[in-house]
């Protein structure tokens, strides 16, 4: 009967041959007659299988012509057998690159088979980000959030904007944890980037012309696995994801003209529905995105104490009792 411990099939020994091998191993010796009696297999079939086990190096034939087979110590015979198969598998593995190259060449002429590639090398990922920006002819969409694998500033973006590319970027609150991040984004916004901010983003993303996308597969520091794809269904889904977050994000003002002065603590402006200052718009956007007071103060170049005072002034002016109401009233007045 079949054994639940049958494992020699992994090295090319079928179940019946393994039963015969185990019988001879237990008995210390066996002939075609004794094996046939123990296994209910035909005698000539047993003789054939015994010879096969001998050819595999698992059994030895006794001298004297009495048809007896004895087992070879499995500590050596099975090790040699498995090593032999390991060598064969290694030869197959060695052929994988060549076979893969033939596969790629065979598919290179198929128009309906866009590439999707897994990237793991940070330098390769950074190179693809630059390549996608160069490739953008009319539209570029991006999710910006840490961790970064290259410098946070992007010297190529102004060049792309100058070509007339419609550039939209959604930033996470974490994007503004570094010093001067707000100033850098504001400069880009002044040059034509349409920028928005939201509390959190699930991935890092760059899409050019709705035809090629670079997407992060991990958000852990020290890892950088990403995917670049030209697959229309996948790119379409990523575009829909971008639009969903774009609709919910808070616009970042593009006007960075000279900052107006902020009234002293407790003062309330009497003129209704005035225009917000640039700093007030920045403050409202960053508050709405969920940044801490310390992070907002750092971006505006003021102390946390000054920020809290200015926030309190806005709450008084807008007749708001909490930050949510401040944001709602500011949106109603068109400040953000």
**pLDDT single digits (tens) 181-196:** 888 888 888 889 999 9
Q: What residues form DSSP beta bridges with 212?
A: 208
Tokens (6 digits) for 323:
């930050």
Answer yes or no: same fold for 1-110 and 278-332: yes
Report residue 261's pLDDT band, with 50, 70 and 90 as the boundaries: very low
**pLDDT single digits (tens) 59-109:** 888 665 567 888 888 887 888 777 777 777 777 777 777 777 776 666 665
Whether this prediction's pTM lies above 0.75 is answered by no
3-state secondary structure of 310: helix
- What's the fold here for domain 1-110? Arc Repressor Mutant, subunit A (1.10.10)
- The CATH architecture of the domain made up of 278-332 is Orthogonal Bundle (1.10)
Domain boundaries, the chain: 1-110, 116-251, 278-332
Report residue 148's pLDDT band, with 50, 70 and 90 as the boundaries: confident
Q: Are 32 and 46 in contact (CB under 8 A)?
A: yes
Please give the mean pLDDT across all residues of the chain: 80
Q: What residues form DSSP beta bridges with 164?
A: none
In angstroms, the CA 118 to CA 217 distance is 9
Q: Are 174 and 148 in contact (CB under 8 A)?
A: no
Q: Is 63 exposed, middle or buried (0-12, 13-18, 19+ CB in 10 A)?
A: exposed
Is the model's pLDDT at 155 over the cut of 80? no
Average the pLDDT over 139-149 and give the result. Answer: 89
- By DSSP bridging, strand 194-198 and strand 59-61 are unpaired
Tokens (6 digits) for 282:
């920045």
Q: What share of the chain has pLDDT > 90, as a percent? A: 22
In angstroms, the CA 283 to CA 297 distance is 9
Q: What residues form DSSP beta bridges with 61?
A: 69
Q: Are 34 and 53 in contact (CB under 8 A)?
A: no
In angstroms, the CA 71 to CA 64 distance is 17
Q: Are 96 and 120 in contact (CB under 8 A)?
A: no
**What is the torsion angle, in degrees rounded to the nearest 10, for the CA atoms of residue 67, residue 68, residue 73 and residue 76?**
0
CATH number of 116-251: 3.30.870.10
């Amino acid at each position: 009967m079949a054994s639940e411990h049958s494992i020699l099939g992994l090295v090319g020994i079928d179940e019946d041959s393994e039963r015969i091998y185990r019988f001879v191993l237990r008995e210390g010796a066996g002939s075609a007659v004794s094996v046939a009696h123990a296994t209910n297999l035909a005698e000539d079939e047993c003789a054939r299988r015994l010879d096969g086990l001998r050819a595999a190096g698992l059994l030895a034939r006794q001298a004297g012509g009495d048809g007896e087979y004895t087992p070879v110590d499995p500590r050596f015979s099975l090790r040699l057998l498995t090593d032999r198969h390991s060598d064969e598998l290694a030869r197959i593995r060695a052929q994988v690159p060549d076979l893969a190259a033939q596969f790629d060449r065979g598919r290179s002429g198929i128009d309906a088979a866009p590439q999707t590639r897994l990237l793991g090398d940070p330098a390769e990922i950074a190179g693809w980000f630059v390549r996608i920006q160069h490739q953008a002819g009319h539209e570029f969409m991006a999710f910006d959030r840490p961790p970064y694998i290259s410098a946070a500033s992007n010297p190529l973006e102004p060049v792309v904007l100058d070509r007339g590319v419609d550039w939209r970027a959604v930033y996470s609150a974490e994007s503004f944890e570094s010093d001067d991040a707000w100033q850098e984004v504001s400069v880009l916004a002044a040059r034509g980037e349409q920028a928005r901010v939201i509390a959190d983003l699930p991935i890092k993303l760059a899409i050019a012309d709705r035809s090629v996308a670079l997407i992060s597969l991990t958000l852990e520091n020290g890892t950088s696995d990403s995917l670049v794809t030209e697959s229309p269904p996948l790119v379409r889904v990523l575009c829909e994801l971008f639009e969903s977050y774009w609709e919910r994000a808070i616009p970042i003002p593009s006007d960075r003209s000279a900052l107006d002065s902020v009234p002293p603590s407790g003062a309330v402006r009497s003129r209704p529905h005035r225009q917000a200052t640039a700093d007030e718009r920045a403050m409202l956007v960053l508050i709405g995105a969920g940044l801490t007071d310390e992070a907002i103060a750092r971006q505006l170049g003021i102390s946390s104490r000054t920020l809290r005072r200015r926030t309190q002034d806005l709450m008084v002016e807008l007749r708001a009792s909490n930050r949510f109401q401040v944001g709602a009233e500011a949106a109603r007045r068109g400040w953000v």
